[in-house]
Structure 1
Amino acid sequence: MPGAPRLDEHSFVGNLLTTDSVPAHRRREYWREALSRTFGAVDISVPDGVYSGTIRTASLGGLKVTKVDGDPLEARRTPRLIAQGDEDEYVVVKLVSQGVARLEQDGRDIGVRPGEVFIYDMARPVRLLFPQCFQTKSIVLSRQVLGLCESDLRQITASPLSSDTPLGGLLSVLLSRLADTAGSHRPYAREVLARSVVDLLNVLADEQLGRISEGTPSGDAAMLLQIRTFIGRHLADADLTPEVIARAHHISVRYLHKIFEGEGITVSRWIQSRRLEACRQDLLHREAANRTIAAVAHRWGFTSAAHFSRVFRAAYGMSPSEYRDTHRP
């Protein structure tokens, strides 16, 4: 927009965004753009004369780790902003390390204290309020990497995880350490750490969704989490089959089917459901309006556009083109 400040070289050094060297009259717009670049487009409001903020970012495999220090603010991701961008492919896992926060999403309105972790989804409207100076440490990751369907994701957003619980405490410490050290790890270590983070998030999600019981064999549960993560990372590969998955995990196809029995779905159906969800999200993107249905299908591993249309209709009650015309903002 004309006259808007840009994130230029005098204020951006490596993985650092800060208002320190920005003139006071430009800081509000600069800070809005810095937050949007990091987490996705947001509308922010801040008290008059309060524009101070610093964002440190580092990559961790396919994840993004951030540490934010800022003055009081309110950030909203509105349907208008969601329709304009592609950030709705991402989920944010955030630790409040200093200050307090308030989060609204999916009909829930929660208060978050220091040491608590919460999750929000960029695909749906969200309001985040920091009434005082704050520090947060976050991980931004793809919905496909997390491997949760839409209905499951809606159940775990805006549900704070206390550091007093075993898994919540582990995630809180891990997030804090990663935000402080992510940029210092070697590439191989970053990949290993990223896999560990995703596995832990899957365990937390399964616990919140009631999928883990005391009778679940620990070895099967751990292998299932690894496989679901693997499927999320290779969803676009048309050659992703039970045989490929079993070989990648050094197990038999028979054992692979066995550990999926508790999910009430076959491996192939699980892959198909994740692909359908990814396609459904693509169909909602405004910038994909000129992309053919076949192109959307092929992007996520469907080799036949006709087959994709049939299974999409069976899952969502209408054809892909009808869904796009009906639901796109």
Structure 2
Amino acid sequence: MVWRGVPDAGVPTTDRFEWFSEMLAASLAPMRVSSDSTADFEAEAAVLELGPVQLSRFVYSPLRTQRTEALIRRADPEQYHLGWVRAGRMEVDQGGNSSGPVTGDMVLMDTSRPQRAVASGAGGGSGRTEALVLQVPRAALPLRARRVDRMVAQRIPAGAGMGAILARFLAALHTQGPECRPGDQERLGALALELTASCLAERLGVLADESPEARPLALRERIDAFIDHNLGDPELTPRMVAEHHHLSLRSLYALFEDEEVSVAGRIRLRRLERCRDDLAGAALRAHTVRAIAARWGFTDGSVFSRAFREAYGMSPSEHRRAAEHADTAGPAQRSSLTSGARQGPPGSAVSRPSP
């Protein structure tokens, strides 16, 4: 596990700004970049792959960035970017929020929404900015997006509470991460994800400050997000869900006792939905039915086929053939097939969730 990147010393001075702009687009997301220092621009960029997340380090001369609706439509990695401004300062505007000058602290950004950012040296001068950026897939964060969206362009203190713990962990990743064994990257990435979620939850007051009546709802939302993110893991079971959230199985079942669908039912139905969508799509036509089932955590092909037929009234192969036929028949039939599969046949596990 090593840092990937090129220091500015390896790029001619006249090309550094263009190189860095391209590096930002490739490493983070397409954006407009401008600077008053293009002639003598200084920059470094490096990326550390950590399984579910990615840590990037950037050092650069003052610049301005903008991510527009048009750029979002062109390409969106659907990530949250948590930037820790270790030197210089940064100001971010997004979602109606304005961070103000951020120095030494962190700020959250969302690639799926327009944003503007200005980076400069300390005190707004011409010095360089250094930032560590943790890139987290939106789907991987075990918090509801509508809650996290309240945190964009908000300063997150890096000197107290979970913010300090997260900052120290990111600093250790920066210095020690490249020396770790390749097999450790998934575990380090998972830990970074968990610390980020805890830091944001603390800032939002999801667990600590909400009323007692609201806490079970917040916990159910986190569990639902965790299930969605781990559907491909064959080991995903109610027991795994309970252990991850520090609950007993009895407490987990009690948490969902008023819901129409049990935890096991949620896992099964969502896996079937993902398989249904993959079987109908053209992108995975070369994959076998068994491979698609395994992709979403089904280890036994016959068990999957029975569950699929029970849910949708046809076998996985029949559903795939119907989708292929619909692709050649036109948009109306494709829409009919999709809506019919989504609802499921009357009395099926999809149209009428089982407890």
TM-score, normalised on structure 1?
0.69
58-67 or 247-256, which moves further after superposition?
A: 247-256
- Preserved CA contact (<8 Å) 1:242 1:267: yes
User: What secondary structure is seen at the aligned counterpart in 1 of 2:9?
Assistant: coil
% same residue:
25
CA distance in 1, matches of 2:44, 2:24: 10
Q: Does 1:205 align with 2:200?
A: yes
1:140 corresponds in structure 2 to: 135
CA RMSD between the two structures: 4.2
CA distance in 2, matches of 1:29, 1:67: 18
CA distance in 1, matches of 2:171, 2:152: 20
2:75 corresponds in structure 1 to: 85
2:315 corresponds in structure 1 to: none
CA distance in 2, matches of 1:272, 1:150: 23
CA distance in 2, matches of 1:79, 1:35: 17
User: 1:231 aligned to 227, 230, 247, which one?
Assistant: 227
1:33 corresponds in structure 2 to: 22
1:279-317 superposed Cα distances (whole Å, 9 cap, x missing partner): xxx9xxxxxx9879xxxxx99899654477459xxxxxx
Distance change >3 Å, CA 236–CA 105, structure 1 → 2: farther
1:324 corresponds in structure 2 to: none
User: 2:8 aligned to 19, 38, 44, which one?
Assistant: 19
2:180 corresponds in structure 1 to: 185
TM-score, normalised on structure 2?
0.64
- Residue type at the aligned position of 2:62: P
- Preserved CA contact (<8 Å) 2:162 2:202: no
CA distance in 2, matches of 1:209, 1:262: 26
Q: Does 1:71 align with 2:61?
A: yes
1:256 corresponds in structure 2 to: 252
1:149 corresponds in structure 2 to: 144
- Preserved CA contact (<8 Å) 2:6 2:44: yes
1:184-220 superposed Cα distances (whole Å, 9 cap, x missing partner): 212343333222222222222222332212798xxx9
- Preserved CA contact (<8 Å) 1:202 1:225: no
Larger radius of gyration: 2
1:96 corresponds in structure 2 to: 85
User: 1:55 aligned to 45, 49, 66, which one?
Assistant: 45
1:228-261 superposed Cα distances (whole Å, 9 cap, x missing partner): 6742432457996646745888976433233568
2:104 corresponds in structure 1 to: 115
CA distance in 2, matches of 1:250, 1:163: 26
1:127 CA displacement: 1.2
Q: Does 1:106 align with 2:102?
A: no
CA distance in 1, matches of 2:202, 2:257: 18
CA distance in 2, matches of 1:67, 1:75: 16
- Preserved CA contact (<8 Å) 2:91 2:101: yes
1:95-141 superposed Cα distances (whole Å, 9 cap, x missing partner): 00000100011101112433211111111111111022100012112
193-202 or 91-100, which moves further after superposition?
A: 193-202
User: What secondary structure is seen at the aligned counterpart in 2 of 1:87?
Assistant: coil
1:274 CA displacement: 9.4
CA distance in 1, matches of 2:266, 2:14: 52
5+ long unaligned stretches in structure 2: 122-127, 285-292, 298-306, 313-337, 345-355
User: What secondary structure is seen at the aligned counterpart in 1 of 2:99?
Assistant: strand
CA distance in 2, matches of 1:224, 1:179: 34
CA distance in 2, matches of 1:262, 1:166: 35
CA distance in 1, matches of 2:240, 2:248: 10
Distance change >3 Å, CA 190–CA 239, structure 1 → 2: closer
- Residue type at the aligned position of 1:110: S
CA distance in 2, matches of 1:181, 1:97: 17
238-247 or 143-152, which moves further after superposition?
A: 238-247
CA distance in 1, matches of 2:119, 2:19: 18
1:55-87 superposed Cα distances (whole Å, 9 cap, x missing partner): 121112221111111110111111111111132
User: What secondary structure is seen at the aligned counterpart in 2 of 1:158?
Assistant: coil
Q: Does 1:195 align with 2:181?
A: no
- Residue type at the aligned position of 1:257: Y
1:167 corresponds in structure 2 to: 162
- Preserved CA contact (<8 Å) 1:102 1:111: yes
- Residue type at the aligned position of 1:115: G
